[in-house]
Amino acid sequence: MADTLGTGIVSDQAAAEMAEPPRAPLYEREGYAGDGPQWGVIYDEANHELRGADWANLADKMRRRCPTVSLASLYLQNFLFSATWGVEGDGEPADYLRSAFGLDGHTPQMGRTFEAFLRDAYTAIELGFAYFEEVYRSDGSRVWLEDFAWRDQRAHYRWVTDTRGRLAGVEQWAVDARGMAHQVTIPLHKLTLFTWRGIGHNYEGIGGFRPLQSFYQDQTYLLNCMRIAVQRGAVAAPVVEWDVPLMRTEGYSDSEINAERVSFNTQLKNFTAGNQNYIAKPAERFCKVEPWSASGAFDPEAFVPALQWYDHTMARMFMAQVLDLGTGASGSRAVASEHTEAAIRFGVNALEWFRENLQPCVDRLLGWNFGDIPHEDRPRLVFHGLKTEPFVQRLESLPGLAAAGLVAASEDVIAETHRKLGLPVPAAGSPAVVPRLRRRARDILREGE
């Protein structure tokens, strides 16, 4: 490649050579991504409090202290947990996956349930990233996943990459049960990583809590201001009037008068700031104290509209299509239906994203236990439950279509219908039971009303 010598300009001959298509492919990499970690740290955020373990600590504080953020987190978890996971496929490999993860009624071979793993994994949507260490064991005939070992984001130290920013693993700086600190590296081949809205080599992603951080900070400042205002509004500002001529007549020198004034003024400052609950007052004839307010009665409710605006804005920014469902003067069934469909699309896309990130672990387990399985025969994780209702509503027209001969109750149709409804898939050769499907459909519709 021609040398620009730091000017960005090359000779005409070099420019022509750079523009001429090569006769054979050039396999070398010339450029760099321009993003990603530098010495293990991702600097997409200029503020260190919004990166890595510092951001994880701040996000956890937001989740614990802010009711709106806590509600958004709880709503997201409940919404995604309304889906049921299972394994699609037949034969020994599919049954192995069901046993490995404890799905479709099987006892899990892992040390905890698949749902417990999902509870931790869903925090990636809130913070931007989450990762687990894959821990394996062997019983002599099969290799099993003993655990998706949770690796807290607050213990994250740095990302391990090659010289071009491609991920090779992660480093933790964690404290064990004895209080001993350890710096450990988890290689990529043992890592299940979830990155939400990560661009390029930004493995930390952009979590749903990130846009809320500045609003949370401003709301916290406003609440502190309100507390101070309430405290100061409850104690009226004192007005002090000293009769200096009388004190001189009584024999006080100027230095003694000044000392009395400084002492009493200090007491009043401490009293109004809340650090002192008593006052040693001078003689009444020397000093008169009266309450005074420049703006009349104090109204703490003046802060309420601003606080409500922050709550409403943070809720909309995190998941408006769910949290604002049917609210407002213009709310209607049509609008609510549109919001519901948007929420379902979000949930389905999020769960598809989880499944894609879990697939490398599934492929490793199948490869170690069953060798190379053709892609079309390979079992896979599936979920259902978020998008059942529209499908169920279409079943109302199924008997008429079947009577007209437009729909044949083939085994494929029966299996797919059972799968959509969350029913066990019947074995090959089972008769079609359309009335039972209709009853199940109506039950689901009633539950959603």
Token pair 């070992």: residue: 149
- pLDDT value, residue 5: 52
- pLDDT value, residue 118: 92
Top pLDDT among 302 and 150 is at 150
What is the average pLDDT across 63-70? 89
What is the average pLDDT across 35-58? 85
What is the average pLDDT across 245-253? 84
Q: 369 falls in which pLDDT band (50, 70, 90)? A: very high
Neighbours of 292 (CB within 10 A): 9
- pLDDT value, residue 368: 93
What is the average pLDDT across 409-429? 66
* This model's pTM is above 0.75: no
What is the average pLDDT across 275-294? 62
The single-letter code of the amino acid at 363 is D
Q: Any idea what DSSP says for residue 406?
A: S
- pLDDT value, residue 75: 84
> Is the model's pLDDT at 133 over the cut of 90?
yes
Q: 94 falls in which pLDDT band (50, 70, 90)? A: very high
> Is the model's pLDDT at 367 over the cut of 90?
yes
> Is the model's pLDDT at 236 over the cut of 80?
no
| 220 and 201 Cβ atoms separated by less than 8 Å | no
- pLDDT value, residue 330: 45
CA distance 389 to 253: 90
Query: 208 by DSSP, 3-state: which?
Result: coil
Top pLDDT among 10 and 437 is at 10
155-169, 253-267, 392-406, 410-424: range with lowest mean pLDDT: 392-406
What pairing do the DSSP bridges indicate for beta strands 129-138 and 84-88? Answer: unpaired
CA distance 341 to 442: 20
Q: 321 falls in which pLDDT band (50, 70, 90)? A: very low
Of 355, 379, 368, residue with least CA distance to 137: 368
| 156 and 56 Cβ atoms separated by less than 8 Å | yes
What is the average pLDDT across 353-368? 92
Q: 293 falls in which pLDDT band (50, 70, 90)? A: low
> Is the model's pLDDT at 121 over the cut of 60?
yes
55-59, 281-285, 441-445: range with lowest mean pLDDT: 441-445
Of 293, 29, 11, residue with least CA distance to 164: 29
Q: 361 falls in which pLDDT band (50, 70, 90)? A: very high
Q: How many residues would you count in the chain?
A: 449
Joined tokens for residue 174 = 């964690």
CA distance 145 to 108: 10
DSSP letter string, 30-82: ----S-SEETTEE-SSSSGGGSHHHHHHHHHHHHHH-HHHHHHHHHHHHHHHT
> Is the model's pLDDT at 275 over the cut of 70?
no
Inter-CA distances, 142 with 88, 93, 146, 290, 372, Å:
20, 11, 12, 85, 15
CA distance 349 to 356: 11
| 283 and 243 Cβ atoms separated by less than 8 Å | no
> Is the model's pLDDT at 331 over the cut of 50?
no
> Is the model's pLDDT at 401 over the cut of 70?
no
